[in-house]
Every structure is written in structure tokens, then in C-alpha cells.
Amino acid sequence: MALVYSTETGRTCPECRQALAACTCRQQAQAAALKGSGAVRLSYETKGRGGKGVTVLRGLALDADELAKFGKTLRTACGAGGAVKEGGTLEVQGDHRETAARLLEQRGIAFKRSGG
């Protein structure tokens, strides 16, 4: 069982056992999550969105600024709204899988379609 609280430092990281403010493994994990796994997944989801469909791109190996620029380009090309979520996930409102696929191919980004 890992130590998660110390009376001296407060909450501690269960991995490195440092105070959360001084923890470096969490920062490294967040940086790795932002870089993505390189396996880009293109899907369409409606679950948990009140029946509204969203095109989702996960695993883009881009830093935060490049991801925001690519998200803006994608939303403009689709003519729809959307958002960049934590962990490097792009969401575009509506079913725009074909437009997203074309844009990814133009940029030379390999992707896989997932979901229904």
C-alpha cells in the first residue's frame, strides 16, 4: 500500500513519494499524454452527450500549441464548433469523419478509424 498523505508535507505522490507540489513523475506523465501515443484514432461518439454526435480524434503527437492550431484548422474545414480537451483529444461537433480523414491524410498523419 502506497503512502498518500504525510503530516509533514500533506498529500504525496504514490509513485515517487514526494509532496504533490514537488512531484516530477506526474509532470512527466502529463507531458507524455500530451504527446500522444502516435496511434491516432478517429471516431464518432454520442454516448454521454445527450444524443448529440461528436467526431473525436485521440492520440495526436502534437504539443499544446500545435494541437490548438490543428483543432482550429479542423473546425474551420468542417464548419463546426468543437474543443481541445485534456490529454490531446480533439472534438468537433457533428459527424465529420470524412473531412477529418482527408485533413489527416493531407498532413501525412497515419490514423485508424475506431468505433461504429
Locate the domains of the chain by residue range: 1-32, 36-113
Residue-wise pLDDT for 47-106, tens only, equals 888 889 999 999 888 888 889 999 999 999 999 999 998 778 899 999 999 999 999 999
What's the confidence (pLDDT) of residue 21? 76
Amino acid found at 62: L
Provide the 10 A C-beta neighbour count for residue 96: 23
What's the confidence (pLDDT) of residue 44? 95
What's the confidence (pLDDT) of residue 113? 93
Residue-wise pLDDT for 11-59, tens only, equals 877 777 778 777 777 666 665 554 555 688 999 999 888 889 999 999 8
Contact 80, 60 (CB under 8 A): no
Contact 81, 72 (CB under 8 A): no
Contact 91, 54 (CB under 8 A): yes
For domain 36-113, say whether CATH 3.30.780.10 is its number: yes
Give the global pTM. Answer: 0.67
